[in-house]
Amino acid sequence: MKKTDCIFCKIANGEIPSKTLYEDEEFRVILDVNPATRGHALILPKEHADDLYELSEGQASQVMLLAKKMAAQMKEKLHCDGLNLIQNNGETAGQTVKHFHLHLIPRYENDGQQLGWKPSEAAQEELEAVRAQIAE
Ligand code: AMP
Ligand code: ZN
């Protein structure tokens, strides 16, 4: 379903113009208006889902195929040195627009971006406790 108050629904369905890189029945790929790097793009499903939890299995399986296609095209055309896929779920995780989107962020040597996390130490017991909590 389309949500009337959702900006990415409007963009994905062409009601608000965007710099579109690709479009098909299910998705639109646009340039991010505040790019982290040159070519920073977003894959938007046309059907609204708040986040990964709400994404249908069909959308979920299609989105990575599309990311792979776009990544190859960006590498060829932009000559980027690397590429990050980022997908935020929930405010705590940095999600600012509540319509699922997958970031494609081309990376260039010395692009000055720092995307990532601070690694920590974890004891084997803690890793085992977490494994059990998730997997059992
Ligand atoms: P996130 O923080 O993962 O929710 O990412 C939201 C992204 O959407 C940010 O990188 C914004 O720069 C981008 N964004 C917000 N509004 C627009 C818009 N109208 N067109 C293109 N990108 C947008
Ligand atoms: Zn939406």
Ordered alpha helix ranges (H), the chain: 7-12, 57-78, 124-135
pLDDT at 80: 98
> Looking at ligand 1, which residue's alpha carbon is closest to its atom 18?
33
Domain boundaries, the chain: 7-135
Three-state DSSP class for 111? coil
Which residues have C-beta under 5 Å from ligand 2, the single-atom ion? 3, 6, 8-9, 48, 99
> Looking at ligand 1, which residue's alpha carbon is closest to its atom 3?
95
pLDDT at 1: 65
Q: What is the pLDDT along the chain (136 residues), one digit of tens a residue?
A: 678 899 999 999 999 999 999 999 999 999 999 999 999 999 999 999 999 999 999 999 999 999 999 999 999 999 999 999 999 999 999 999 999 999 999 999 999 999 989 999 999 999 999 999 999 9
Model confidence pTM above 0.85:
yes
Whether residue 87 has its Cβ less than 6 Å from ligand 1: no
Distance 55 CA to ligand 2 centre (A): 11
> Looking at ligand 1, which residue's alpha carbon is closest to its atom 16?
33
Q: Ligand 1, closest atom to CA 34?
A: 12
Q: Ligand 1, closest atom to CA 7?
A: 19
Give which of 104, 65, 52 is closest to 82, Cα–Cα: 104
Tell me which H or E stretch contains 122: none
Superfamily of domain 7-135: HIT-like (3.30.428.10)
The position carrying tokens 């940095």 is 94
